[in-house]
């Protein structure tokens, strides 16, 4: 309004026009519209109204669109679509339920080893923290069937129940076991009673952080060299030595051959520490004539590149041994 009034006053002072003519010329100049054919006073009034209304409507529309973009309406929809596509493309991944202190440590290890996973966390702040740390996260209740179906439980490699309370972990494990009977499930327990309940609910493994922490402290005090070795062998940052478990597929050339015939030490430079059979029996330090069967898991020690080659030969999956 100041620009328009100032321009009209200037035209009237310089050109000696009437206020109506000066205002008309000012509006034309401000809107960058060429002067139309000579019109009457009423025509000039209509032209001024049309120009100001048109410019006002355009600016108002632009403001609305800018508000949608800036305040997050459009980015939120785009982010939601991107997240949905990522969830649809997930396969052979882990579902990490809970992103507290334990969940954050688990996620850090999975990220270091480039293992695909998705975090399910009902607390919005914790969910955003997971996203800030580089994880794919969903704000939802992990104990609900539709949520587990949404994060691809049918295609998942395993589920880790690390929610804050034992009751939530038990219910999450029970729901996941009903939906996917063959899924590998690890549960976090805060007490001995919870350990029993989690196993009854269907967890394949139950870990108590307090018990593990106490044992680790005791072993560090009693056998520090042994603890240092295992930390070196199982650390994802170590480039010289690693301990892995590698599943031998039925169609692999290693299946139905002895350790000596497979020539693992010479071909791959690895040491077979143990063999876990499909029935979960563990054969530690197996003899050279022990037969490797399809479905067996080899616990081996060696260089990371050698372990990758052995994994390719075995036709299975490798996962860090803890």
For 23-62, what is each residue's pLDDT tens digit?
877 877 777 777 665 666 776 676 777 678 778 888 888 8
3-state SS class at 210: helix
Fold of 239-320: Alpha-Beta Plaits (3.30.70)
Instruction: Let me know: does 216 contact 227? Beta carbons within 8 Å.
Output: yes
Give per-residue pLDDT as tens, 56-113. 888 888 888 877 666 656 666 777 777 778 888 889 999 999 999 999 999 998 998 8
CATH 3.40.50.720 in the chain: give the residue spans: 91-213
| Helix or strand run (H / E) with residue 219 | helix 209-222
CA 7 and chain centroid, separation: 59
Q: Which CATH fold would you assign to the domain 91-213?
A: Rossmann fold (3.40.50)
Q: Is the pTM of this model over 0.85?
A: no
Question: Is residue 185 pLDDT above 90, yes or no?
Answer: yes
CATH 3.30.70.1450 range(s) for the chain read: 239-320
Choose among 27, 71, 67, 69: nearest CA to 50: 27
User: How many C-beta neighbours within 10 Å does residue 48 have?
Assistant: 18
Rounded mean pLDDT of the chain?
84
d(CA 214, CA 21): 91
Please give the backbone phi and psi of residue 242, each rounded to the nearest 5 degrees, phi first.
-150, 150
Q: Nearest to residue 302, comparing CAs of 289, 321, 284, 283?
A: 321
CATH architecture of 2-70: Orthogonal Bundle (1.10)
What do you get for the CA distance between the two ends of the chain, in Å? 73
Buried/exposed code over 90-124 (b: 16+ C-beta within 10 A; e: otherwise): beebbbbbbbeebbbebbeebeeeebbbbbbbbee
Band (160; pLDDT cuts 50, 70, 90):
very high
Rounded Cα distance between 64 and 70, Å, is 10
- Check pLDDT > 90 for residue 7: no
Please list the residue range(s) of the chain that carry CATH number 1.10.287: 2-70
């Amino acid at each position: 309004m100041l620009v328009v009034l100032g321009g009209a006053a200037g035209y009237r002072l310089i050109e000696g026009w009437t206020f109506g003519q000066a205002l008309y010329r000012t509006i034309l100049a401000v809107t960058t519209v060429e002067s139309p054919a000579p019109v009457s006073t009423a025509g000039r009034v209509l032209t001024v109204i049309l120009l100001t209304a048109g410019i006002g409507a355009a600016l108002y529309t632009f403001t609305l669109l800018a508000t949608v973009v800036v305040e997050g309406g459009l980015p939120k929809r785009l982010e939601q679509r991107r997240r949905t596509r990522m969830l649809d493309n997930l396969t052979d991944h882990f579902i990490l339920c809970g992103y507290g202190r334990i969940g954050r440590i688990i996620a850090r290890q999975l990220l270091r080893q480039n293992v695909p996973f998705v975090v399910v966390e009902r607390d919005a702040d914790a969910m955003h923290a997971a996203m800030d740390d580089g994880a794919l996260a969903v704000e939802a209740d992990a104990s609900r069937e539709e949520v587990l179906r949404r994060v691809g439980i049918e295609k998942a490699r395993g589920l880790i129940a690390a929610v804050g309370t034992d009751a939530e972990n038990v219910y999450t494990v029970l729901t996941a076991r009903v939906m996917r009977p063959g899924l590998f499930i690890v549960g976090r327990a805060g007490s001995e009673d919870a350990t029993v309940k989690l196993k009854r609910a269907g967890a394949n493994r139950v870990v108590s952080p307090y018990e593990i922490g106490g044992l680790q402290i005791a072993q560090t005090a009693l056998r520090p060299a042994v603890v240092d070795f295992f930390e070196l062998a199982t650390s994802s940052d170590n480039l010289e030595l690693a301990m892995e478990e590698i599943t031998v597929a039925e169609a692999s050339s290693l299946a139905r051959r002895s350790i000596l015939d497979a020539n693992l030490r010479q071909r791959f430079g690895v040491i077979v520490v143990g063999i876990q059979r499909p029935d979960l029996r563990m054969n530690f330090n197996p003899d050279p004539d022990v037969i490797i069967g399809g479905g067996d898991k080899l616990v081996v020690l060696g260089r990371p590149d050698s372990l990758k080659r052995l994994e390719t030969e075995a036709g299975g999956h490798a996962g860090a041994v803890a």
